[in-house]
């Protein structure tokens, strides 16, 4: 079985989980905990949720299509810390 970074699925879950959190600075662990709480159907796909894939000011190999666009839900503040846009 091929594993892919299901960034489109994790993107939608991330956007839902971050609703109402605009302006808050959250760590990777806090973001993942929020997604698991608010979007429990993410299940095992939580392992593919990397906040660094969904930043307007940062990108990585294999990032989501929102990366470096105005659709990105996060801005990278520092390593492991993100601000909700």
Residues in the interface with Zn ion (CB under 5 A) total 4
DSSP summary character for residue 40: G
Q: Coil, helix or strand for 83?
A: strand
Q: How many CB atoms lie within 10 A of CB 7?
A: 20
**By CB under 5 A, is residue 11 in contact with Zn ion?**
yes
Question: Which one among 13, 34, 49, 66 touches Zn ion, defined by CB under 5 A?
Answer: 66
Given a contact cutoff of 8 angstroms between Cβ atoms, the answer to whether 65 and 53 are in contact is no
- The one segment of 24-32, 34-42, 64-72, 76-84 that binds Zn ion by CB under 5 A: 64-72
Interface residues with Zn ion (CB under 5 A)?
Answer: 11, 54, 64, 66
């Amino acid at each position: 079985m091929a594993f892919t970074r299901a960034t489109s699925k994790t993107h939608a879950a991330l956007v839902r989980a971050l609703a109402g959190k605009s302006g808050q600075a959250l760590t990777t662990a806090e973001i993942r905990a929020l997604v698991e709480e608010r979007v429990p159907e993410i299940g095992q796909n939580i392992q593919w949720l990397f906040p660094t894939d969904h930043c307007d000011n940062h990108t990585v190999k294999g990032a989501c299509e929102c990366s470096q666009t105005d659709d990105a839900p996060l801005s990278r503040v520092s390593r492991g810390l993100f601000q909700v846009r």
